[in-house]
Structure 1
Amino acid sequence: MIGQRVVQKVSSTRGFAKVAPHVIPALDRAVHRITRGRVLLSAQMLPGVVLTSTGARSGLVRRTPLACMPEEAGRTWILIGSNFGRDGHPAWTANLIAHPEAEVSWKGADIPVTATLLTGEERAAVWKRALTFWPPYATYQARVEREIRLFRIVRK
């Protein structure tokens, strides 16, 4: 419990927001590849998936390690486009808007999914749950003018 609070405090800092986007995804991708999809380092603190999507402009395959908020185990997840509280939406969110058919690697299994951008009351309800799930999201939102995008991904 103390460890998680320390991680939450550190992950809320601007320094973390500057360094983490360059370090954490690279480490996650490497460990995920080496362990054949069984391990994500970042998932030691938060559940995580590796999202495989199609680039919005390039059309190329993009693999992005992401924290997720599982809803129905192995059926639906929430992805939160916080971008570590930095300006600009993360590229993977534009990819899902342009191409909602994607795949996630979840606990070693590759699962085809469809993504939906949440809006209105549905988004508000999920955002409230996300803040309980990982309180630093409130700090990230306060730091940026954009509304953090939330997606529900559903197993096909």
Structure 2
Amino acid sequence: MRRLPPRWIIRSAWAVHRALYRIGGARLSLKRPGNGRYGLFRLTTIGRRSGQPRSVILAYFEDGPDIVTMAMNGWGAPEPAWWLNLQAHPDAEAELADGPRPVRGRAAVGEERDRLWARWREIDEGLDEYAALRPTPTAVVVLERRAA
């Protein structure tokens, strides 16, 4: 069984990544997915309670024109705030290494979820073991391009 590092290490890594973004922007912190590896993008949602923009850097791969990510919260038990925000306000902004993209988020369900989960499994062989650490299923999130 795989084990996660302590939560403070996971949270510290997130803080470092956000700092890299503040210092060098997309050039230092965002990357396109490649053969057998995920990319990194910045998602900006609208806070469900505050109404203010909230940004997070997430892993992704592309499925045709769509961006696919997972609502995993570092494999911790609670749902990530960005996913709760996206459910309340589905329109968001994705910043990829090659520029911004307006998107609308939704959870993949049924056969689509199974297909996209299998693609994630090709990238991360430990996916199922890590997902088993969460008490609820991990949402596979599809971000579809929308008109600006």
Match of 2:130 in 1: 140
The 1:33–1:108 alpha-carbon spacing in structure 2 relative to 1, beyond 3 Å, is: farther
- Over aligned residues, Cα RMSD in angstroms? 2.3
Aligned counterpart, 1:126: 116
TM-score normalised by the chain length of structure 2:
0.84
Structure 2: distance between partners of 1:56 and 1:40: 26
Residue 29 (structure 2) pairs with residue 59 (structure 1): no
Shift of 1:152: 0.7
**Residues matched between the structures, number:** 143
| Structure in which a larger fraction of residues adopt helix | 1
Say whether residues 1:105 and 2:95 are aligned partners.
yes
Q: Which runs of 5+ in 2 are unaligned?
A: none
1:138 Cα offset (Å): 1.3
- Per the normalisation by structure 1, the TM-score is 0.80
Candidates 44, 49, 52, aligned match of 2:41: 49
Deviation at 1:127, TM superposition (A): 1.0
Q: Does 1:33 align with 2:25?
A: no
- Per-residue displacement from partner, 1:15-67 (whole Å, max 9, x unpaired)? 25x23431222112111122232221787963110100011222111010111
Give yes or no for contact 2:86–2:105 (8 Å, CA) kept in 1.
yes
Task: State the partner residue of 1:8.
Answer: none
User: Could you tell me how far apart the structure 2 residues matched to 1:69 and 1:136 are?
Assistant: 17
Shift of 1:113: 0.9
Shift of residue 99 of structure 1? 0.8
- The letter for the 1-side match of 2:17 is D
| SS of equivalent to 2:132 | helix
Structure 1 unmatched runs, 5+: 1-11
Question: Identity, % of aligned pairs?
Answer: 27
